[in-house]
Amino acid sequence: QLSLADYRGRPVLVVNTATRCGYAGQMATLEQLWQRYQTRGMMLVAVPSNDFGGQEPLEGAAIAEAARQSHGATYAFAEKTVVRGPEAHPFYRWAAAQRPAETPRWNFHKYLIGRDGALIGGYPAATDPLSPQLVQAIGRELGAG
């Protein structure tokens, strides 16, 4: 069980993932991002979800293992979680209240939380993890420390 409070004072990228999604290749790009910024204090948390297209059929540790085998993912994986609607995890309900126009519409939506715990932004599924807008936002947070 992951607690975001454990990462207070560090920027955190939270990504809802699914191993059978067409965007699953982003797990490898997320690994590149993780390798680049983990030593500078960034935290990356994958949140497996079956909310979009039923694309996460795996359960438990099998999800992280599949991501490691297929994409080399070494970052943290939360438990499989509901990320939208009234049954969503409290983090996702909080994020939706903070930024209603930037809620997950598909797998691989990214939320960036700042060092101060504020939600900096939501980035849609098609946003590459190494996109300039996301990399620059992470860099600003890491520089703010």
Query: Quick one: which of 86, 27, 28, 21 has its CA closest to 58?
Result: 21
- pTM, entire model: 0.95
**Average pLDDT taken over every residue of the chain:** 94
CB atoms within 10 A of CB 94: 14
Domain boundaries defined on the chain: 9-143
44 is catalytic: no
Tens digit of each residue's pLDDT (9 = 90 or more) over 102-134: 999 999 999 999 999 999 999 999 999 999 999
Assign domain 9-143 to its CATH superfamily: Glutaredoxin (3.40.30.10)
Residue from 21, 33, 47, 138 carrying the catalytic annotation: 21
pLDDT band at 4 (very low <50, low <70, confident <90, very high): confident
> What distance in Å separates the CA atoms of residue 114 and residue 102, rounded to the nearest whole number?
16
Contact 16, 63 (CB under 8 A): no
